[in-house]
Structure 1
Amino acid sequence: MSTPELGLPMVVPAPGLPARVRIHEVGARDGLQNEKATVPTEVKAEFVRRLAEAGLTTIEATSFVHPKWVPQLADAEHLFPLVSDLEVALPVLVPNERGLDRALALGARRVAVFASATESFAKANLNRTVDEALAMFEPVVARAKAEDVHVRGYLSMCFGDPWEGAVPVPQVVRVCRALLDMGCDELSLGDTIGVATPGHVLALLTELTEARVPTGALGVHFHDTYGQALSNTLAALQYGVTTVDASAGGLGGCPYAKSATGNLATEDLVWMLQGLGIDTGVDLARLVATSAWMAEQLGRPSPSRTVRALSHKDPKEQ
């Protein structure tokens, strides 16, 4: 079946939005870590390379967690050297000092730690309290900064928790402030189970500003469980956030929170941003082709609406 030329949205800028947004691509790590079947290392490397060729400049490559906990990413030592020559930022997740050792040994220059805003998820994910997890991250962040390595602090369950329900905004602000105070360069606010709505997003961002957390140090990470990821992203952009996490093809979820469905699809995000006249540097046609290719490797259709629409195929045929 032939594919017509790729369509693009009509560009109609809206007031009060940034001129450029940096997309923090998480598909190769956050997306693939939730796959039931292990993806071959060579396929992962090709995925990262294709994402770079599509114009993405920050591509989270892998995670240096213990293979027992995330077996899908047990090949971190083999994967990272296959992509380290790319002229893009390649952050990696490091859960502790041992993970940092492994990442630094391979020349990683950007790392991330993964904290929780709630006690229940901290227990499920790290088998620690929130404060115990923060204490574990302190030497990791300190050592990374001593090596002049950029550190991102992920904060999960910023809006809702499957065990605790709605998460009080001041609770999230406290952990954000702690991560910044220990030296994190940027924070990613995670809506892990996808329950946020735009008003909630604005309330959190406002209280973070009041707590002297710079908006420029923030990224947002929305899941699309209730179809709110793009509307929440737009609210964050209107507030002044310019870093947005997304996953090519909408891959991923969270292995420790069963109600967490897929991440915001990078293609859906790029379509909206292009329509608003916001620069991302991403070639949408190449990105769609990359996600369609990855869907073939995984043996199922891409969840991204934009990938489906621009592939010009009936979803039943994909």
Structure 2
Amino acid sequence: MTLPAGLPMPVPDPDLPRRVRVHEVGPRDGLQNEKGVVPTEVKAEFIRRLAAAGLDTIEATSFVHPKWVPQLADAEALFPLVRDVGARLPVLVPNERGLDRALALGAREIAVFGSATESFAKANLNRTVDESLAMFEPVVARAKAAGARVRGYLSMCFGDPWEGAVPVGRVAATGRRLFDLGCDELSLGDTIGVATPGHVGALLRAFDAEGVPAGRLAVHFHDTYGQALSNTLAALRHGVTTVDASAGGLGGCPYAKSATGNLATEDLVWMLDGLGITTGVDLGHLTATSVWMAGHLGRPSPSRTVRAISHQES
């Protein structure tokens, strides 16, 4: 698939970073919310195509118990099929058992997933925030001892469907504790998509007050109210250089029913291309990949960029 003639004209902004790393979450966060189970070989081909499109960080799968996320029950079968794609392949692990499974297959990057609120910690991990952090402590320590890079996820950073607004100070303090455990990077999740740009700025300033620079943070926005791109731009203006996104806008959260799709990687790359920010991602190749996956899922992609380019190609 080729791109239309009307590409965005790059207009660099000196207040923005020159390069952004796109942390692709489609194969994990995207597919885990599908009602049906995508065949393992289709998932592997999805990851291979994403790598070929220039994405250098692709979250491959999650080593959780199959009972909780049956869509990702094939982690052991999938990971060996994609280890050689030439991209970083982080995987999620909920506990030491999940870490054992991941390390046994040669995973070199793992992620733990915590919550900024007690309600979601209980719903997602059946633990309090303190109990979940205690569970992560040996996971992070063992992963680091094995030479693995560790990412922390913090969910419900902007709002919680049970508790409402979440104080930025509480989010920053909980995130600081994940760094204190040894996490190399922390992804701030707008799990139900209620963030606005001013809120994003306030949270990043709270992390700065905790001694956590924006360069160690990533942002993970859901597009429930159409704010994901504006929130991303706000984060970039505060020095964030890693943005999570999902090819084709796939995803949600099985434990937060109001969570809608992730920020679409194509929409993100279109904006970044227009700002003259380097990502290394080939938008045409990426769009073709999302169209291919949409065919396997039996529905069109919700990404506006995918639809616009596909329409011009048809």
Shorter chain as denominator, the TM-score bin is: over 0.9
CA contact (8 A) 2:2 2:284 kept: no
Structure 2 residue 127 is matched with structure 1 residue 128: yes
Task: Give the Å deviation of 1:30.
Answer: 0.1
Task: Give the Å deviation of 1:5.
Answer: 4.1
Report the CA distance shift for 1:4/1:267 in structure 2 as closer, same or farther (over 3 A).
closer
CA distance in 1, matches of 2:256, 2:135: 22
Alignment of 1:182-261 (within 5 A): 182-261=181-260
- Name the residue aligned to 1:84: 83
CA offsets, 1:52-80, max 9 Å, x none? 00000000000000000000000000000
CA offsets, 1:186-239, max 9 Å, x none? 000000000000000000000100110121110000000000000000000001
CA distance in 2, matches of 1:4, 1:192: 32
Which secondary structure state, in structure 2, belongs to the residue aligned with residue 312 of structure 1? Answer: helix
CA distance in 2, matches of 1:65, 1:8: 41
CA contact (8 A) 2:51 2:87 kept: yes
Unaligned runs of 5+ in 1: none
CA contact (8 A) 2:110 2:149 kept: yes
- Name the residue aligned to 1:266: 265
Report the CA distance shift for 1:313/1:135 in structure 2 as closer, same or farther (over 3 A).
same
Task: Give the Å deviation of 1:268.
Answer: 0.1
Task: Give the Å deviation of 1:15.
Answer: 2.7
Count of residues paired in the alignment: 314
- Name the residue aligned to 2:306: 307
CA distance in 2, matches of 1:165, 1:238: 26
Which secondary structure state, in structure 2, belongs to the residue aligned with residue 102 of structure 1? Answer: helix
CA distance in 1, matches of 2:92, 2:62: 4
CA contact (8 A) 1:6 1:310 kept: no
Which stretches of structure 1, 4 residues or more, deviate above 6 A after TM superposition? none
- Name the residue aligned to 1:177: 176
RMSD over aligned Cα atoms? 1.4
CA distance in 1, matches of 2:128, 2:165: 18
Which secondary structure state, in structure 1, belongs to the residue aligned with residue 9 of structure 2? Answer: coil
CA distance in 2, matches of 1:214, 1:239: 10
What percentage of aligned pairs have identical amino acids?
80
Structure 2 residue 100 is matched with structure 1 residue 101: yes
Which secondary structure state, in structure 1, belongs to the residue aligned with residue 54 of structure 2? Answer: coil
Letter in 2 for 1:77: E
CA offsets, 1:3-38, max 9 Å, x none? 884642111112300000000000000000000000
Task: Give the Å deviation of 1:313.
Answer: 5.8
- Name the residue aligned to 1:48: 47
TM normalised by structure 1 equals: 0.97
Letter in 2 for 1:230: L
Report the CA distance shift for 1:3/1:54 in structure 2 as closer, same or farther (over 3 A).
closer
Which secondary structure state, in structure 1, belongs to the residue aligned with residue 251 of structure 2? Answer: coil
- Name the residue aligned to 1:14: 13
- Name the residue aligned to 1:141: 140
CA offsets, 1:145-186, max 9 Å, x none? 001100000000000000000000111011101000000000
Letter in 2 for 1:206: R
- Name the residue aligned to 1:291: 290
Which secondary structure state, in structure 1, belongs to the residue aligned with residue 111 of structure 2? Answer: strand
Structure 2 residue 268 is matched with structure 1 residue 278: no
CA distance in 2, matches of 1:192, 1:121: 10
CA offsets, 1:271-305, max 9 Å, x none? 00000000000000000000000000000000000
CA distance in 2, matches of 1:293, 1:251: 13
Unaligned runs of 5+ in 2: none
Letter in 2 for 1:293: W
CA contact (8 A) 1:6 1:285 kept: no
Report the CA distance shift for 1:176/1:4 in structure 2 as closer, same or farther (over 3 A).
closer
Letter in 1 for 2:99: L
CA distance in 1, matches of 2:280, 2:5: 17
CA contact (8 A) 2:117 2:166 kept: yes
